[in-house]
Amino acid sequence: MEPLRTIESRTVVLPSANIDTDQIIPARFLKVTDKQGLGKALFADWRYDGEGKPRPDFVLNRPEAAGAKVLVAGDNFGCGSSREHAPWALVDAGFRAVISTKIADIFRNNALKNGLVPVVVDAATHARLLAEPGAAVRIDVEAQTLRLPEGAEARFPLDAFSRYCLLNGVDELGFLLSQRPAIDAFESRR
Amino acid sequence: MSPRTLFEKVWDAHVVRPETAETPAVLYIDLHLVHEVTSPQAFSVLREQRLPVRRSDRTVATMDHSTPTLPRRADGTLPWADAQAEAQVSKLARNCQEFGVELHALGSSTQGIVHVVGPELGLTQPGMTVVCGDSHTATHGAFGALAFGIGTSEVGHVLATQCLLQRKPKTLAVRVEGALGPGVTAKDLVLAIIAKLGVGGGTGHVIEYLGPAIRALSMEARMTLCNMSIEAGARAGMVAPDEVTFAWLKGRPRAPRGEAWEKAVAAWRQLPSDEGARYDREVAIDASAIAPMITWGTNPGMAIPVTGTVPAPAEADAADRATLESALRYMGLTPGKPILGQPIDVVFIGSCTNSRIEDLRAAAAVMKGRKVKVRSLVVPGSVEVKKQAEAEGLDRVFREAGAEWREAGCSMCIAMNGDRIERGQYCVSTSNRNFEGRQGAGGRTLLASPATAAAAAVAGAVADPRQMGAA
Ligand code: SF4
C-alpha of residue B458 to centroid of ligand 1, in Å: 25
Give the pLDDT of residue B313: 83
Closest atom of ligand 1 to B432 CA is 3
CA dihedral B203, B209, B211, B215 (to 10 degrees): 170
CA distance B201 to B229: 10
For chain B, the structural domain boundaries read 6-166, 170-289, 293-468
Q: Which residues contact B254 (CB under 8 A, 6 or more apart)?
A: B121, B122, B123
**Average of pLDDT values for B253-270?**
98
For residue A163, the distance in angstroms to the closest alpha carbon of chain B comes to 10
Q: Cα distance from B418 to chain A (closest Cα, Å)? A: 9
Out of A18, A45, A82, closest to residue B199 by CB? A18
Spatial contact of B372 and B458, defined as CB atoms under 8 Å apart: yes
The two counts, helices (H) then strands (E), for chain B are: 15, 19
Cα–Cα dist B194/B325, whole Å: 20
Residue B387 has what DSSP assignment?
H
Domain B170-289: give its CATH code: 3.40.1060.10
Q: Does A80 touch chain B (CB under 8 A)?
A: yes
According to DSSP, the β-strands at B426-429 and B444-447 are parallel
pLDDT greater than 90 at residue B119: yes
> Could you tell me which CATH number the domain at B293-468 has?
3.30.499.10
**Contact assessment for residue B295 and residue B433, using Cβ atoms and an 8 Å cutoff:** no
Continuous H helices in B271-341: 318-331
Which of A 115-144 lie inside 8 A of B, CB atoms? none
Per-residue pLDDT at B316 exceeds 90? no
Range B273-300 average pLDDT: 97
The size of the A-B interface in CB pairs under 8 A is 175
Mean pLDDT, range B343-368, rounded to an integer: 98
Query: Span B6-166: which CATH code?
Result: 3.30.499.10
Q: What is the pLDDT of residues B133-180, one digit of tens each?
A: 999 999 999 999 999 999 999 999 999 999 999 999 999 999 999 999
Q: How confident is the model at residue A50 (pLDDT cuts 50, 70, 90)?
A: confident
Q: In this predicted model, what pLDDT tens digit does every residue of B4-45 receive, in sequence order? A: 999 999 999 999 999 999 999 999 999 999 999 999 999 999
Residue nearest to atom 1 of ligand 1 (CA): B351
Domains present along chain A, CATH in parentheses: 6-189 (3.20.19.10)
pLDDT, one tens digit per residue, over B373-403 is 999 999 999 999 999 999 999 999 999 999 9
Contact at CB, A104 and B233, closer than 8 angstroms: yes
pLDDT band of residue B214 (cuts 50, 70, 90) is very high
Q: How many residues does chain B have?
A: 471
DSSP character string of A79-127: BS---THHHHHHHHTT--EEEES-B-HHHHHHHHTTT-EEEE--HHHHH
Check CB contact under 8 Å for A31 and B88: yes
For residue B184, pLDDT over 80 is answered with yes
Digit-coded pLDDT (tens) for A86-132 = 999 999 999 999 999 999 999 999 999 999 999 999 999 999 999 99
